[in-house]
């Protein structure tokens, strides 16, 4: 299996219900150079999520980019996605691993230093520092932002890939990468950009220039 590149993850914006707009932005993100896509749907029914997942997978295959499904192991299995991203209160990590197998990418959200030290985080393929900054995009179950100091503390104890999420834009990306993150995960910095393609290219360039990629 090729090594996963955590440079820039586009987390899809479930506030966009129009499929043409939704997939036009996803395709712009893929063209602009995202290295991972996470399909995140928090409000729709299973059939709608599944249909979006089928199409998202088709697009990701064209661009040879892994597709990860937020929370839903069943949807990931149904569309042969490359993995899942789960939170602390989703399917237990060991069960997700058993269901998906050893070759799937499993990411885990971490909101405290304590969570980063636990076995689940150590067994995950990557962790998401969630949130690094405050954001208006996720309004429920959002922990206190860890900030740069939280990121630095977690980096000291965590040796696997780490991406940050929450309130990230082109003005704070370099600081996140220079303080130890392997990559960033964004929703609105791409989905709400006037030009998602340009925004993606800019974010990618900042991560690549700042990091050791
Ligand atoms: N998890 C933690 S913050 C967040 C998620 C899904 C939303 C990030 O959205 P944005 O627009 O990049 O701040
Ligand atoms: Mg979750």
- Find out whether the beta carbon of 199 lies less than 6 Å from any atom of ligand 1: no
User: Residue 145: which pLDDT band, with cuts at 50, 70 and 90?
Assistant: very high
CA–centroid distance, 141 to ligand 2, in Å, is 9
Give the domain ranges of the chain.
8-210
Q: Which residues contact 157 (CB under 8 A, 6 or more apart)?
A: 113, 116, 117
Q: Tell whether ligand 1 has an atom less than 6 A from the beta carbon of residue 189.
A: yes
Whether 109 is catalytic: yes
40 catalytic residue (yes or no)? yes
Q: For residue 158, is pLDDT > 60?
A: yes
**Average pLDDT estimate for 2-25:** 97
Phi, psi (rounded to 5 degrees) for 168: -90, 135
Statement: residue 101 has pLDDT above 70: yes
Q: Quote the ligand 2 centre to 209 CA distance (angstroms).
A: 31
* Ligand-binding site membership of 135 (annotated): yes
Domain 8-210 adopts which CATH fold?
TIM Barrel (3.20.20)
Note the pLDDT of residue 39.
98
Closest ligand relative to 40 C-alpha: 1
pTM for the full predicted model: 0.98
Answer whether 88 contacts ligand 1 (Cβ < 6 A): no
d(CA 34, CA 15): 20
* pLDDT at 1 > cutoff 80: no
Residue 144 annotated in active site: no
137 lines ligand 1 (CB under 6 A): yes
Q: How far, in Å, is the centroid of ligand 2 from the Cα of 165?
A: 13
Say whether pLDDT at 2 is over 90: no
Question: Is the pLDDT assigned to residue 213 strictly greater than 60?
Answer: no
Per-residue pLDDT tens for 171-203? Answer: 999 999 999 999 999 999 999 999 999 999 999
d(CA 18, CA 133): 28
List the catalytic residue out of 104, 109, 130, 191: 109
- For 55-89, the pLDDT digits (tens) are 999 999 999 999 999 999 999 999 999 999 999 99
- Paired sense of beta strands 183-186 and 8-11, if any: parallel
Predicted local distance difference test score (pLDDT) of residue 212? 75
CA dist list (Å): 43 to 40, 76, 115, 184: 10, 17, 27, 24
């Amino acid at each position: 299996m090729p090594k996963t590149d955590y440079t820039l993850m586009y987390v899809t914006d479930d506030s966009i219900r129009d499929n043409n707009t939704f997939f036009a932005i996803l395709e712009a993100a893929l063209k602009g150079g995202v290295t991972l896509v996470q399909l995140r749907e928090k409000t729709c029914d299973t059939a709608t999520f599944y249909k979006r997942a089928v199409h998202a997978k088709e697009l990701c295959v064209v661009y040879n980019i892994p597709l990860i499904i937020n929370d839903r192991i069943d949807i990931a299995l149904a569309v042969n996605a490359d993995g899942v991203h789960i939170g602390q209160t989703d399917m237990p990590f060991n069960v997700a691993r058993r269901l998906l197998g050893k070759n799937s990418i499993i990411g885990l959200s971490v909101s405290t230093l304590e969570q980063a030290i636990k076995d689940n985080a150590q067994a995950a393929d990557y962790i998401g520092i969630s949130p690094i900054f405050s954001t208006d995009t996720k309004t429920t179950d959002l922990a206190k932002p860890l900030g740069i100091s939280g990121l630095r503390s977690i980096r000291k104890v965590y040796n696997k890939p780490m991406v940050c999420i929450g309130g990230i834009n082109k003005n704070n990306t370099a600081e996140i990468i220079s303080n130890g993150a392997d990559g960033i995960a964004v929703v609105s910095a791409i989905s709400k950009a006037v030009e998602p393609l340009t925004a993606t290219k800019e974010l990618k360039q900042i991560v690549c220039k700042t990091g050791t990629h």
